[in-house]
């Protein structure tokens, strides 16, 4: 499938701000399940873009805006050819062994409620990690209601999600990731895009590592392993690590369009905004 | 040097200078308040002290109208209260915080003056002071600023750090002198009744005392105290270290030193020089004719503007 | 616990040669003179503002660290052995950190368990594959040493992040020179005041680019930090700018500081700010103490951070227990300074032993510091031990245990006169691109309370001047 993507992010600053530093993770890389045909980054201010590879193998750009200004806007745009690999991710850049993805982070910290969730999900399920991961995904999907990301661009921590019983896809991914790590399975956070027939949007999901198979993409919010409708953008330990834009501004607005590239472009735009 | 360091040095000196001015204002008010009314003492001397200190709004909010200001209230407000950001105690607190942030730019002598004052401040009780205690307190404040100035003068390298520090002190000092004049300008006006009477003498003398210039007056003019001479001394006389002209003499020179060290002039140098020219080319009759009050208000606002220019050019 | 080794006198009252002169002198000076000098020292400390802040104490924002006027003496021989061992240790620390962030051979060899690195909060994935100038990570190390007998110096702890205390080492000497010039005329004491020069030379040698005089700055969290005095003290002694995060900004991958003459490029940052707070774009997003974009400039190789980011992966107490193996692995040598025997509670048989022997052991948190969160078995009461037992069982991997060492004692001035008190030693090791520099001595910390083994300043410990005799 060919997916056409346009992702615009604006971050607001105090008027008259000078010498702003910004980091963006908005450039997908190819692997066996996706091929980047065309990709551009556009800024509304004059500055040099330095591409760097971050610790997790993501392409990121750090740049500075001299100002004075009250906002910075970045637009990423391109086309990606995707293939269905039944969720298995091969040929990706892997600077770390899977063991690294056992790290605990603030957003995925194994608090008592998360441990209870994980243990309940795999109760009576065989030790085999793949089966357990599917059980975890089903459990997360059944007990947590997915809602559209509003209010905050940073997904909630696993603990907060379990308390609220509902979250955006990224929050549900935190629960899945924290639970998998508690069960001894390396797991990580993925940002990207989901292009369906009727809508396309930014999305977060998880990947977990199964020996002999490799990394497998699970979307517990939708209870599926990733398909050709998914475009993988960045990988990290949790949502912090894959934040598309990091700066010191106070408000972030995003608008994302991801759609089937074979159809004529439509103007569907998902809006989200919040504090960063 | 770091902009923040320059900023801290500048404000450190301003706050020490401000504490000194407040102490002098309190000193004079106390003296006037104990002078019988027939000899020029007045009942609302304390209110005008608050006015001179430039914190009238805050004071009225807390204690009510200035006309009814009481001694204990004013002393406590100007000297000790934490709620008054310009109280002497706060001046010393802020001065020390600034000094701590720029310790590396201070000489150890300067630091020790500030740190010791800050420690000693704690020995003064946090309650209404007896008159003796207040006198000792005010003497302590004045001595601290003298020691600080002395330490600065004697130990600091003559480089940008020194110049920024002096700029702060001079700007604050000229502001204080101008505000004393602003509050008391009416007693200097020629149309005032009882010209030359004992009542006025005490008022004029008190103005001079508040800038420690009573003795200086006699040395400079070899004359009895006369209102236009008082104004001349405090505004135009460059021999008098607290006069506006003397302050701007120093300000212009310090700013020029900075500019020549950095090889670049800016708006603050231009403004300081033009203000100095204004103070040099005028005479006191002239100023009285166009209006003493207008002249002083204009000066205060230009002085603030210079502060803003220095900040924009160097301190951010 | 057996009688501790006293560095001045043996149990039979025989005075060791290095202390002979001092002992004689102490015997000749009346107690009230000593008390008077101690007060004088305290007065000087307070006046110049050598204070530290104690966290969690609202009204005691600034406190003095008690200073003991009786110096601690080490012989030239003892110091010689110590400094060789320290150099070896720091060399191994640097090689270990470099390996952990590149090829990870020590993990592949199975010498250090993987999760001790990967799950370590101080491990910074961001540093993976990042080249640092001259492959040096720990440029300034503080290695804590304790002594139990004439010949045994143990390493108690490695501090590879931002070790503090060096200002006390320098100020203590200054004060001693002021108060007791006659004592110095009787001893040949190796000087320490060249530390500032050594530090500056070390920092300059680490500049990412040659060709111009490097601009070195010290980055402080600000005046409310407990070690602020030390930050400003060092900036002063080095003659470099003491900056806060807001004084710096990053433009096109280069770090600049805001000055009265416009932006000025910065080459080396001796940062006294934890990794977490360095850059809100890379680490904690709520940090206002750091510099946005600093990590990208660092990764681009345009600025040196001292110590490097992520050095904490080498200095927690669990990694500590592997140090002898780490030294053997990288250097092919036996460690010159032994570790204190350590039980890792993460290992079942170790845990079992520890739980059975709690009243005799010292149990510490793996990531703890400052003497917080530890159990000193012999001085704890039953309730404290039982409470700790629960903590230990709940999260064994978070703890290590060590035998309660009879730390050596040194003569110390206390209320009743001169009495032995337990001490440790923190020497400071500087690793530059050109060489390793160690000034003779270090900071001696002393537990002022009788019998106490806790020397941390946050727990009422004091300091002493440390003399290495030159002959």
Buried b (16+ CB within 10 A) or exposed e, C43-82: ebbeebbbbbbbeeeeeeeeeebbbbbbbbbbbeebbeeb
Nearest to C128 among A20, A95, A248 (CB): A95
* Largest pairwise CA distance in chain A: 61
pLDDT tens per residue, range B142-179: 999 999 999 999 999 999 999 999 999 999 999 999 98
Phi and psi at residue C207, in whole multiples of 5°? -60, 140
Contact C251 A66 (CB under 8 A): yes
The tokens describing A203, both together, are 């999305």
- Count contacts between B and C (CB, < 8 Å): 58
pLDDT of B198 higher than 70: no
pLDDT at B41: 52
Rg for chain C, CA atoms, rounded: 22
Contact C281 A246 (CB under 8 A): yes
In three-state form (DSSP H/G/I as H, E/B as E, the rest C), the secondary structure along chain B is CEHHHHHHHHHHHHHHHHHHHHHHHHHHHHHHHCCCHHHCCCCCHHHHHHHHHCCHHHHHHHHCCHHHCCHHHHHHHHHHCCCCCCCHHHHHHHHHHHHHHCHHHCCHHHHHHHHHHHHHHCCCCCCCCCHHHHHHHHHHHHHHHHHHHHHHHHHCCCCHHHHHHHHHHHHHHHHHHHHHHHHHHHHHCCCCCCCCCHHHHHHHHHHHHHCCCHHHHHHHHCCCCCHHHHHHHHHCCCCCCCCHHHHHHHHHHHHHHHHHHHCCCCHHHHHHHHHHHHHHHCCHHHHHHHCHHHHHHHHHHHHHHHHHHHHHHHHC
Mutation pick from B1, B9, B93, B100 vs chain C, by most beta carbons of C within 10 Å, is: B100
471 residues of chain C, pLDDT tens digit each? 557 899 999 888 899 999 999 999 999 999 999 999 999 998 888 777 676 655 444 444 567 788 999 999 999 999 999 999 999 999 999 999 999 999 999 999 999 999 999 999 999 999 999 989 889 999 999 999 999 998 899 999 999 999 999 999 999 999 999 999 999 999 999 999 999 999 999 999 999 987 789 999 999 999 888 888 899 999 989 999 999 999 999 999 999 999 999 999 999 999 999 999 999 999 988 888 999 999 999 999 999 999 999 999 998 888 999 999 999 999 999 999 999 999 999 999 999 999 999 999 999 988 776 667 788 888 889 999 999 999 999 989 889 999 988 899 999 999 888 999 999 999 999 999 989 999 999 999 999 988 888 888 777 789 999 999 987
pLDDT tens per residue, range B21-40: 999 889 888 887 777 766 65
pLDDT at A270: 45
Determine the distance in angstroms separating the CA of B202 from the nearest CA of chain C, rounded to an integer. 42
**Contact status of C126 with chain A (Cβ, < 8 Å):** yes
Contact B2 C257 (CB under 8 A): yes
**Contact status of C369 with chain B (Cβ, < 8 Å):** no
Element (H, E) at C67: strand C67-74
3-class SS of residue C33: helix
Q: With beta carbons under 8 A apart, name residues in chain C contacting A103.
A: 118-119, 123, 125
How confident is residue B43, by pLDDT bands cut at 50, 70 and 90? low
- Count contacts between A and C (CB, < 8 Å): 75
**Contact status of C261 with chain B (Cβ, < 8 Å):** yes
- Residue B31 · residue B95 · CB < 8 Å: no
**Contact status of A246 with chain C (Cβ, < 8 Å):** yes
Q: With beta carbons under 8 A apart, name residues in chain C contacting B116.
A: 47
E strand map for C360-470: 361-365, 375-376, 399-403, 409-414, 417-426, 428-431, 436-438, 443-447, 461-468
Determine the distance in angstroms separating the CA of A134 from the nearest CA of chain C, rounded to an integer. 25
Nearest to B112 among C47, C244, C261 (CB): C47
Instruction: Report the alpha-carbon distance of residue C21 to residue C271 in Å, rounded.
Output: 42
Residues with Cβ within 8 Å of C197's Cβ and at least 6 positions away in sequence, in order, are: none
Q: With beta carbons under 8 A apart, name residues in chain C contacting B4.
A: 243-244, 246-247, 258
Phi and psi at residue A255, in whole multiples of 5°? -135, 130
Q: State ipTM.
A: 0.89
Instruction: Report the alpha-carbon distance of residue A133 to residue A209 in Å, rounded.
Output: 10
DSSP 8-state code for residue C9 = B
Mean pLDDT of B110-139: 87
**Contact status of C46 with chain B (Cβ, < 8 Å):** yes
Residue A207's nearest CA partner among A110, A120, A38, A85 is: A85
Query: Domain residues of chain B, as ranges?
Result: 1-156, 158-316
The tokens describing A18, both together, are 């000078």
- Residue C75 · residue C441 · CB < 8 Å: no
Contact B2 C223 (CB under 8 A): no
Catalogue all structural domains in chain C, each as residue range(s) with its CATH number: 341-404 (3.30.1490.270)
Tell me which chains share at least 3 CB pairs under 8 Å with chain A.
Answer: C
Residue C143's nearest CA partner among C129, C163, C125 is: C163
Residue C21's nearest CA partner among C192, C191, C184 is: C184
Rg for chain A, CA atoms, rounded: 18
Determine the distance in angstroms separating the CA of B4 from the nearest CA of chain C, rounded to an integer. 7
**Contact status of C43 with chain B (Cβ, < 8 Å):** no
**Contact status of C62 with chain B (Cβ, < 8 Å):** no
pLDDT at C70: 95
**Contact status of C105 with chain A (Cβ, < 8 Å):** no
Phi and psi at residue B145, in whole multiples of 5°? -70, -35
Q: With beta carbons under 8 A apart, name residues in chain B contacting C257.
A: 2
Contact C299 A99 (CB under 8 A): no
pLDDT tens per residue, range B225-266: 888 899 999 999 999 999 999 999 999 999 999 999 999 999
- Residue C270 · residue C279 · CB < 8 Å: no
Instruction: Report the alpha-carbon distance of residue C443 to residue C142 in Å, rounded.
Output: 10
- Residue C255 · residue C297 · CB < 8 Å: yes
Residues with Cβ within 8 Å of B218's Cβ and at least 6 positions away in sequence, in order, are: none
Instruction: Report the alpha-carbon distance of residue B169 to residue B173 in Å, rounded.
Output: 6
Contact C232 B103 (CB under 8 A): yes
Q: With beta carbons under 8 A apart, name residues in chain A contacting C251.
A: 19, 64, 66
Q: What is the pTM of this model?
A: 0.88
pLDDT tens per residue, range B259-297: 999 999 999 999 999 999 999 988 888 898 888 889 999
Tell me which chains share at least 3 CB pairs under 8 Å with chain B.
Answer: C
Catalogue all structural domains in chain A, each as residue range(s) with its CATH number: 2-82+243-275 (2.60.40.2250), 88-241 (3.10.620.30)
Nearest to C115 among A19, A47, A102 (CB): A102
**Between vectors from CA B285 to CA B279 and to CA B289, what angle results, nearest 5°?**
100
Nearest to A248 among C127, C280, C300 (CB): C280
- Residue C441 · residue C466 · CB < 8 Å: yes
Burial class (CB in 10 A: 0-12, 13-18, 19+), C27: exposed
Q: With beta carbons under 8 A apart, name residues in chain A contacting C293.
A: 21-23, 62, 64
pLDDT at B254: 96
How confident is residue B197, by pLDDT bands cut at 50, 70 and 90? low
Contact C250 A64 (CB under 8 A): yes
Contact A23 C281 (CB under 8 A): yes
Q: With beta carbons under 8 A apart, name residues in chain A contacting C252.
A: 47-48, 50, 63-64
DSSP string, C74-99: E-HHHHHHHHHHHHHHHHHHHHHHHH
**Contact status of A13 with chain C (Cβ, < 8 Å):** no
Mutation pick from A11, A46, A62 vs chain C, by most beta carbons of C within 10 Å, is: A62
Element (H, E) at C45: helix C31-48
- Residue C345 · residue C401 · CB < 8 Å: yes
**Between vectors from CA C52 to CA C51 and to CA C56, what angle results, nearest 5°?**
140
**Contact status of C222 with chain B (Cβ, < 8 Å):** yes
Instruction: Report the alpha-carbon distance of residue A134 to residue A131 in Å, rounded.
Output: 5
Contact C247 B2 (CB under 8 A): yes
Contact A50 C252 (CB under 8 A): yes
Determine the distance in angstroms separating the CA of C2 from the nearest CA of chain B, rounded to an integer. 45
Chain center to CA of C372: 15
276 residues of chain A, pLDDT tens digit each? 999 999 999 999 999 898 899 999 999 999 999 999 999 999 988 788 878 899 999 999 999 998 899 999 999 999 999 999 999 999 999 999 999 999 999 999 999 999 999 999 999 999 999 999 999 999 999 999 999 876 556 789 999 999 999 999 999 999 999 999 999 999 999 999 999 887 888 999 999 999 999 999 999 999 999 999 999 999 999 999 999 999 998 878 888 988 888 777 654 444 444 433
pLDDT at A255: 87
pLDDT at B27: 87
Contact B100 C223 (CB under 8 A): yes
pLDDT at A274: 43
- Residue C382 · residue C392 · CB < 8 Å: no
Q: With beta carbons under 8 A apart, name residues in chain C contacting A240.
A: 285
């Amino acid at each position: 499938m060919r997916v056409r993507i346009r992702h615009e992010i604006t971050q607001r600053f105090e008027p008259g701000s000078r010498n702003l530093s910004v980091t963006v993770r908005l450039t997908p890389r190819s692997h066996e399940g996706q091929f980047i045909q065309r990709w551009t980054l556009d800024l509304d201010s004059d500055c040099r873009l330095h591409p760097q590879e971050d610790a997790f193998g993501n392409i990121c750009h750090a740049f500075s805006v001299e100002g004075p200004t009250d906002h910075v806007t970045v637009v990423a745009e391109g086309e990606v050819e995707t293939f269905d690999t039944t969720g298995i991710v091969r040929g990706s850049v892997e600077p770390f062994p899977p063991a690294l993805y056992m790290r605990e982070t603030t957003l995925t910290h194994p608090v008592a409620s998360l441990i209870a969730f994980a243990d309940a999900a795999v109760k009576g399920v065989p030790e085999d990690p793949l089966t357990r991961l599917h059980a975890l995904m089903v459990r997360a999907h059944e007990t947590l209601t997915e809602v559209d990301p509003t209010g905050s661009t940073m997904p909630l921590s696993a603990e907060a999600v379990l308390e609220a019983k509902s979250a955006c896809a990224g929050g549900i991914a935190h629960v899945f990731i924290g639970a998998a790590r508690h069960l001894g399975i390396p797991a990580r956070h993925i940002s990207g895009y989901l292009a369906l027939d009727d809508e396309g949007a930014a999305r977060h999901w998880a990947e977990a590592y199964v020996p002999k198979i490799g990394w497998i993409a699970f979307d517990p919010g939708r209870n599926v392993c990733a398909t050709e409708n998914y475009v993988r953008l960045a990988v990290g330990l949790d949502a912090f690590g894959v934040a598309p834009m990091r700066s010191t501004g106070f408000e972030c607005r995003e608008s994302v369009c991801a759609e089937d590239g074979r159809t004529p472009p439509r103007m569907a735009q998902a809006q989200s905004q919040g504090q960063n | 040097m770091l902009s923040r360091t320059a900023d801290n040095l500048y404000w450190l000196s301003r706050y020490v200078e401000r504490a000194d001015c407040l102490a002098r204002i309190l000193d004079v008010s106390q003296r006037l308040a104990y002078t019988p009314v027939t000899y020029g003492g007045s009942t609302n001397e304390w209110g005008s002290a608050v006015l001179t200190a430039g914190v009238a709004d805050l004071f009225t909010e807390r204690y009510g109208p200035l006309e009814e200001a009481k001694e204990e209230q004013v002393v406590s407000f100007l000297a000790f209260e934490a709620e008054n950001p310009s109280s002497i105690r706060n001046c010393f607190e802020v001065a020390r915080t600034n000094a701590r942030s720029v310790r590396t730019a201070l000489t150890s002598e300067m630091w020790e003056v500030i740190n010791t004052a800050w420690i000693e401040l704690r020995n003064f009780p946090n309650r209404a002071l007896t008159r003796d205690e207040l006198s000792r307190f005010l003497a302590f404040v004045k001595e601290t600023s003298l020691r600080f100035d002395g330490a600065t003068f004697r130990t600091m390298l003559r480089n940008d750090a020194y110049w920024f520090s002096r700029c702060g002190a001079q700007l604050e000092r000229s502001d204080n002198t101008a505000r004393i004049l602003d509050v008391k300008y009416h007693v200097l006006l020629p149309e005032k009744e009882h010209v030359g009477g004992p009542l006025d003498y005490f008022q004029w003398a008190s103005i001079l005392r508040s800038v420690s210039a009573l003795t200086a007056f006699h040395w400079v003019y070899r004359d009895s105290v006369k209102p236009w001479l008082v104004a001349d001394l405090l505004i135009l006389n460059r021999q008098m270290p607290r006069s506006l002209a003397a302050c701007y003499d120093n300000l212009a020179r310090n700013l020029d030193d900075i500019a020549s060290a950095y090889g670049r002039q800016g708006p603050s140098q231009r403004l300081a020089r033009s203000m100095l020219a204004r103070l040099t080319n005028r005479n006191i009759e002239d100023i009285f004719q166009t209006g003493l009050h207008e002249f002083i208000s204009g000066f205060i606002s230009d002085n603030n503007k210079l502060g803003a220019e220095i900040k924009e050019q160097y301190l951010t | 616990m057996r009688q501790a080794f006293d560095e001045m006198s043996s149990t039979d009252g025989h005075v060791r040669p290095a202390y002979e002169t001092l002992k004689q002198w102490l015997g000749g000076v009346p107690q009230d003179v000593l008390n008077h000098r101690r007060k004088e020292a305290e007065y000087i400390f307070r006046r110049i503002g050598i204070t530290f802040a104690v966290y969690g104490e609202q009204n005691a924002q600034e406190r003095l660290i008690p200073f003991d006027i009786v110096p601690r003496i080490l012989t030239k021989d003892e110091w010689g052995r110590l400094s060789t061992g320290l150099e070896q240790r720091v060399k191994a620390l640097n090689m270990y950190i470099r390996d952990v962030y590149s090829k990870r051979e020590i993990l592949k060899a199975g010498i250090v368990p993987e999760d001790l690195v990967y799950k370590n909060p101080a491990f910074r994935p961001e540093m993976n594959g990042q080249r640092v100038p001259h492959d040096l990570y720990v440029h300034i190390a503080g290695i804590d040493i304790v002594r139990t007998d004439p010949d045994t110096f143990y390493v108690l702890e490695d501090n590879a992040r931002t070790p503090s205390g060096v200002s006390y080492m320098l100020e203590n000497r200054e004060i001693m020179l002021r108060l007791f010039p006659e004592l110095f005329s009787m001893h040949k004491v190796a000087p320490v005041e060249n530390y500032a020069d050594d530090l500056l030379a070390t920092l300059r040698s680490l500049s990412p680019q040659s060709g111009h005089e490097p601009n070195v700055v010290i980055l402080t969290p600000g005046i409310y930090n407990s070690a602020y005095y030390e930050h400003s003290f060092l900036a002063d002694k080095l003659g470099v700018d003491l900056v806060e995060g807001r004084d710096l900004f990053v433009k096109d991958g280069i770090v600049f500081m805001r000055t009265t003459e416009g932006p000025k490029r910065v080459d080396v940052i001796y940062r006294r700010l934890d990794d977490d707070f360095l850059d809100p774009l890379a680490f904690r997003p709520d940090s206002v103490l750091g510099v946005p974009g600093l990590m990208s400039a660092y990764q681009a190789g345009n600025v040196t951070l001292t110590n490097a980011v992520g050095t904490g992966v080498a200095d927690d107490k669990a990694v500590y227990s592997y140090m002898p193996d780490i030294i053997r692995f990288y250097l092919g040598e036996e460690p010159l300074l032994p570790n204190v025997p350590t039980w890792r509670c993460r290992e079942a048989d170790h845990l079992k032993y520890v739980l059975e022997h709690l009243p005799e052991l010292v149990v510490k948190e793996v990531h703890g510091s400052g003497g917080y969160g530890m159990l000193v078995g012999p001085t704890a009461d039953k309730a404290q031990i039982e409470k700790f037992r629960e903590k230990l069982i709940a999260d064994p991997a978070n703890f290590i245990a060590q035998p309660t060492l009879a730390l050596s004692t040194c003569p110390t001035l206390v209320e009743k006169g001169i009495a032995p008190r337990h001490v440790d030693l923190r020497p400071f090791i500087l690793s530059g691109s050109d060489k390793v520099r160690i000034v003779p001595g270090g900071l001696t910390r002393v537990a002022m309370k009788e019998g106490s083994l806790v020397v941390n300043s946050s727990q009422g410990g004091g300091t002493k001047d440390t003399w290495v005799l030159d002959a």
